[in-house]
């Protein structure tokens, strides 16, 4: 275990809650709750995260933004002599030591990572109730981490309860306190289209259609600028030079990290993407989304929230962009649509649940 902090003696009446999360995205979801939890008399949150590698700086920025201090950091790096079962076993031992040392009375886990699973299992073995904090159903969830969707099911089967927590309070803090003046001068009085390409399908085919449609639209609508955060591979540079060369309204930039992206979504007039990953943020910030897929999915009664799923067709993309640009009432109607999902808890409602913890 790394970076273990020294602890003082705990008062017998203090409720110590272990809060476990693993990534910047999970930190954004749970940190507003942790910040409020610190203000409650006789309740002490004990923060446990995994070691951050590529995301260390953005995790630091999020924790600083919400004034959250980490107490324990668990290692995640594997070398040739370390495999997944060893790392999981070590995490389980470390978390069991934390549970006993801190006299934890309840555990909150956010996400479906290896650390979240180990924290759930450790707490379960020690008779500590576990609450699983999740994002709303209906949005894309990353199943590529530890055991994928099976991890989510395993945690759910051991947890005493689950709570669906949205990003509204977190986003409110980010858009008001996190400064990102990127393209501020260029975008003044402009409608920003953010191309959030996630590479969920044939990238050359998808990007070619999107680029062609954007060129046609911006040739007519000079009030539009397009921002494309993407790694400029040889294939993408070839497509850009072929279709968009000389276009002054299009900006290729380095991929955003999570804070930059969410702050920029707040400034965007529209998002074009090949994935539903951004729908939760877009719904909270009332930013319409065009989801371009090779097989279109028809939206029914606003069940896709602020998004419209369309086929991989230059004509469809141009038609939808034109309609949204020219029909203000239609644009506003799409922007406020809600995704059909289970009722979300607010941070205050989650805080109230701690009152019942013995």
**pLDDT value for 321:** 96
49-97 per-position pLDDT tens digit? 988 877 889 999 999 999 999 999 987 665 556 677 777 788 889 999 9
Per-residue confidence band for 189, with pLDDT thresholds at 50, 70 and 90:
confident
Cα Rg, the chain, nearest whole Å = 22
Q: Is the same domain home to 283 and 185?
A: yes
Residue 133 falls inside a structural domain: yes
Q: Does 153 have pLDDT greater than 80?
A: no
User: Mean pLDDT over residues 94-106, rounded?
Assistant: 94
Q: Are the C-beta atoms of residues 164 and 134 closer than 8 Å to each other?
A: yes
Query: Could you tell me the two tokens for 278?
Result: 């951004």
Question: What's the mean pLDDT in 35-49?
Answer: 90
Q: pLDDT of 208-249, one tens digit each?
A: 999 999 999 999 999 999 999 998 888 889 999 999 988 989
Q: What's the DSSP call for residue 160?
A: S
Give dist(CA 46, CA 207) in Å, integer. Answer: 45
Helix 314-326 vs helix 328-335: crossing angle, to nearest 10: 100
**184 and 304 belong to one structural domain:** yes
Distance CA(116)–CA(114), nearest Å, equals: 5
Tens digit of each residue's pLDDT (9 = 90 or more) over 317-327: 999 999 999 99
| 206 vs 270: which has the higher pLDDT | 270
**Do 144 and 197 have their domain in common?**
no
Q: Give the closest residue to 102 by CA, choosing from 195, 164, 9, 184.
A: 9
Verify that 188 and 64 share a domain, yes or no.
no
**Section 8-24 average pLDDT:** 79
Q: Is residue 143 part of a domain?
A: yes
Angle between helices 168-177 and 24-37 (to 10 degrees): 100
Classify residue 5: in a domain, yes or no.
no
206: exposed, middle or buried (Cβ count in 10 Å: 0-12, 13-18, 19+) = buried
Task: Give the angle 97-72-100 at the CA atoms, nearest 5°.
Answer: 20
pLDDT at 251: 92
Residue 185 Cα to chain centre, angstroms? 28
In 3D, which of 343, 338, 344, 341 has the Cα closest to residue 301? 338
21, 142: one domain? yes
Are 252 and 152 part of one and the same domain? no
Would you say 43 and 354 are in contact if contact means Cβ atoms under 8 Å apart?
Answer: yes
83 and 200 belong to one structural domain: no
Rounded to an integer, what distance in angstroms lies between the CA atom of residue 220 and that of residue 69? 51
Candidate from 128-132, 156-160, 215-219, 330-334 with smallest mean pLDDT: 156-160
Q: Are residues 160 and 24 located together in one domain of the fold? A: yes
Percent of the chain with pLDDT over 70: 82
Regarding whether 242 and 121 lie in a shared domain, the answer is no
Assess if residue 74 is contained within a domain: yes
Q: Count CB-CB contacts under 10 A for residue 87.
A: 19
Across the beta sheet with 15-21, the strand order is: 72-74, 43-50, 15-21, 104-110, 130-134, 161-164
Query: What pLDDT score does 1 carry?
Result: 57
Q: What's the whole-model pTM score?
A: 0.83
Residue 336 lies in a domain: no
pLDDT band with cut points at 50, 70 and 90 for residue 143:
very low
CATH code at 65? 3.40.50.2000
Residues 192, 128 within the same domain: no
Highest mean pLDDT pick, 4-18, 122-136, 210-224, 294-308: 210-224
Give yes or no: residues 223 and 304 share one domain.
yes
Q: Is residue 301 part of a domain?
A: yes
CA distance 109 to 263: 26
Please tell me the total count of domains within the chain: 2
Q: Do the domain assignments include residue 114?
A: yes
Choose from 12-16, 57-61, 295-299 the range with maximum mean pLDDT.
57-61
- Evaluate whether residue 2 is within a structural domain: no
Q: Are residue 192 and residue 301 in the same domain, yes or no?
A: yes
Tokens 């934890």 -> residue: 104
pLDDT of residue 300: 40
Q: Which domain does 217 fall in, by range?
A: 180-326
């Amino acid at each position: 275990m790394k970076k273990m902090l020294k602890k003082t003696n705990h008062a017998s009446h203090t409720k110590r809650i272990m809060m476990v999360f693993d990534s910047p995205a999970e930190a954004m979801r749970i940190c507003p709750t942790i910040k409020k939890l610190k203000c409650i008399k006789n309740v002490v949150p004990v923060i446990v995260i995994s070691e951050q590698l590529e995301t260390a700086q953005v995790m630091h920025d999020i924790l600083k933004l919400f004034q959250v201090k980490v107490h324990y950091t668990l290692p995640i790096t594997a070398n040739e002599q370390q495999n997944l079962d060893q790392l999981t076993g070590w995490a389980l031992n470390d978390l069991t030591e934390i549970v006993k040392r801190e006299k934890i009375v309840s555990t909150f886990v956010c996400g479906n990572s290896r650390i979240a699973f180990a924290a759930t299992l450790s707490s379960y073995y020690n008779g500590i109730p576990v609450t699983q904090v999740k994002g709303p159903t209906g949005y894309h969830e990353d199943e590529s981490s530890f055991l994928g969707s099976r991890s989510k099911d395993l945690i759910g089967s051991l947890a005493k309860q689950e709570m669906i927590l949205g990003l509204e309070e977190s986003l409110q803090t980010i858009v008001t306190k996190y400064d990102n003046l990127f393209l501020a001068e260029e975008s003044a009085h402009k409608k920003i289209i953010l191309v959030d390409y996630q590479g969920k399908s044939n990238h050359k085919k998808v990007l070619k259609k999107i680029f062609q449609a954007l060129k046609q639209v911006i040739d007519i609508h000079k009030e539009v600028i397009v921002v494309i955060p993407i790694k400029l591979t040889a294939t993408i540079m070839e497509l850009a030079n072929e279709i968009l060369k000389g276009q002054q309204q299009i900006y290729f930039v380095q991929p955003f990290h999570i804070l930059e992206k969410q702050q920029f979504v707040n400034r965007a007039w529209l998002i074009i993407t090949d994935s539903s990953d951004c729908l939760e943020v877009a719904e909270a910030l009332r930013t319409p989304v065009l989801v371009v897929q090779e097989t279109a999915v028809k939206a029914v009664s606003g069940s896709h929230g602020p998004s419209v799923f369309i086929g991989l067709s230059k004509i469809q993309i141009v038609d939808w962009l034109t309609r949204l640009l020219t029909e203000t009432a239609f644009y506003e109607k799409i922007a406020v649509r809600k995704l059909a999902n289970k009722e979300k808890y607010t941070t205050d409602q989650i805080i109230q649940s701690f009152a019942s913890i013995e």
